[in-house]
Amino acid sequence: MELIIEPVARRKATQQTGALRGSATGTYTGSSLQFLNANVLFAYDLDTSGGLFYSYVVSSAGLSGSYNTQYTLNNFSAFKIRNGRAYANLGGVADPTVNPVAPLGVFQTVAPTSQFGSDFGYGQLTEPDPSLGCSFFASLTASQTGIVGAALEAFDQASYTASGQVTLLALTADLSDGVPSPIDFVRWGQDGLALLTSTGQVVLLRGPFVVPQLLQTNTAAVLTSSSSTALSRGSGNTILTLTGSNFLPGVAALWNGSYRTTTIVDATHITVAIPASDLTNAGSATITAANPGANASNIISLSIN
């Protein structure tokens, strides 16, 4: 397991809020926003009611929906959507693809609040990874001496039970009030987690806590085709679907040898998100897939014209 604490430019985090625009009207209706797809937006109200989950239809005319499409869910707060499920910081899981939105379960041992009270509900402090069958949570604790610890927890998505925990020490407390604020928490690379705090520190954790399969000797994934092998220069963010076999939990697609966000669709398909920055210049690129604890797959070549 590898831990890196990176200091970056110091800054005091402030809550950024803004009303939904378009044809949505009424009181403030959401500060945690996630798209289910290009046509449906969900929002959770962290600032007024403190307990409502909203659905909006996205069209060229703006957003439609509001109080006629609201849902009360268990243990919900700021959330993320992965593979059609909504995962909240406070441990709640829901299915937003049905109407009404259906609660599915709760990761019961996730603390509903921290010593920082409602701040725990702000910021994206859960990171679900359906490809691993695991959800990760982050929280911070502080002492009177100003020593701050970050606790990272892993939970099995099938049983909603804890599968591991690691505590990291020696973060810096916020000098203005002694209380650091956790800001964001994401997966990075094939086997990493990254936590950003209001003190300007980034905590990076890598290893088998994140992807236990790294401790195994696995066989390589096999790629047979890509949904496109000819991409347009300057075309913007692109999703490629890769067809193949032997995609194991934690498989990651690599663009010219660098990891890109990967989602397992089924036993023979994965998708990879190619950012616009990869497509700014004409030329060629390669795609491979790497299982944890295994060599990279065969190469698929792509052209950028």
- What would the pLDDT profile of 265-295 be if each residue is shown by its tens digit? 888 999 999 999 999 999 999 999 999 989 9
Predicted pLDDT at 284: 95
Nearest Cα to 258, choosing from 294, 234, 281, 285?
A: 285
Q: Which CATH architecture has domain 216-304?
A: Sandwich (2.60)
Bridge partner list, 206: 2, 192
pLDDT digit string, tens, across residues 36-69: 988 899 888 876 655 788 888 888 888 887 655 6
* Rg value, the chain, Cα: 20
Cα–Cα distance between 151 and 3 in angstroms, integer? Answer: 13
Q: Where in the chain is the domain with CATH 2.60.40.10?
A: 216-304
Which alpha helices (H) appear in the chain, and where do they start and end?
A: none
76: tokens are 């919900």
Cα–Cα distance between 47 and 253 in angstroms, integer? Answer: 38
The answer to whether residue 262 scores a pLDDT higher than 80 is yes
Predicted pLDDT at 105: 92
Cα–Cα distance between 44 and 170 in angstroms, integer? Answer: 33
Nearest Cα to 291, choosing from 132, 129, 157, 83?
A: 132
